[in-house]
Amino acid sequence: MKIVDIKTLAISSIKVIRFARFLDARGYFTEPYRKSDMNKHPQMPFLKNIEFVQSNESFSKKGTIRGLHFQWNPYMGKLVRTLRGHMVDMVLDIRKRSPDFGKIFFYEMPHDPAADASEWIWVPPGFAHGNFFLEDTVIEYFCSGEYSQGCEAGISPLATDLNWSLCDAELKKKFDGIVENGPIITEKDRGGHSLAAWQKDIRSDNFIYDSLKG
C-alpha cells in the first residue's frame, strides 16, 4: 500500500488517507489496505492497533440520504471509500463536552477511475456517520466493531438543531437540494433523534469527549 498523504479535516479526529493507484493503458492497480503499512506510518497513530473485524458494502441510488448512525458496546469506527459513483460523507460530533459537539460537516468523495490516487475517510467512535449521493453509488467500509443490534442509535440528518458552521457552503447547497426535491431516506433515519433529544438520553453517556478524543 503506497500512502500518499494524510489529511486532517475540520474536526481533527477525522482523517482522510490518500493512497496511490498505478495507471497504465489497461486501467489501474491499487492496494487499498495493508495493515502493516497503516500501523507503521508515522502520521497514522490514530489507526495503530485498530483491528477491522467487519467489511460492509452498500449501493445507494442518486438522491439517497443515509444516517446519521453510531454504535456502542462495541464501539464501531469506520474506514470508508467510494467504489463507484459520487458520495458525500457526513460526520457529526456526538462526544459530550467536546468543543465541537453538535457540529456536522461534509467531505466529498467522487470515484474517478482516471485519478492517480484514491481515498479512505476514517470516522472513529464518538461520531455519527452518514452519507448522501449525487449519483448511483457503491461504497465500502471496514468496521472496527461488529454490528451489535440493540446498541445502536441515530440522529436524523434532517434534525433542525444541528450546527452547520463547519460545512462547505456548496456541499450544503447540494444537500439542501436533495432534501427539497424529496430524498430517498428510510423512515428510521428520517425519524431519528434530534441532537437535543439524544443529549438527554442516558445512552448518550457512552460518548464522552475525554474518553474518546484522539
Query: For residues 75 and 56, what is the distance between their CA atoms, to the nearest angstrom?
Result: 16
**Residue 27 has which C-alpha cell?**
486501467
Query: For residues 107 and 114, what is the distance between their CA atoms, to the nearest angstrom?
Result: 20
What DSSP line would sit under the chain, residue for residue?
--EEEEEE-SSTT-EEEEEEEEEETTEEEE----HHHHHH-TT-GGGTT----EEEEEEE-TTBEEEEEEETTTT--EEEEEEESEEEEEEEE--BT-TTTTBEEEEEEE--TTSSEEEEEEE-TTEEEEEEESSSEEEEEEESS---TTSEEEB-TT-TT-B-TTS-HHHHHHHHHHHHT--B--HHHHTPBPHHHHHHSGGGGG-BHHHH--
List the catalytic residue out of 41, 69, 111, 209. Answer: 69
Contact in structure between 83 and 136 (CB atoms under 8 Å): no
List the catalytic residue out of 107, 111, 129, 141. Answer: 141
Is 209 among the catalytic positions? no
Is 147 among the catalytic positions? no
Q: How far, in whole angstroms, is CA 73 from its chain's centroid? A: 19
**Residue 130 has which C-alpha cell?**
452518514
| Residues annotated catalytic, as ranges | 69, 141
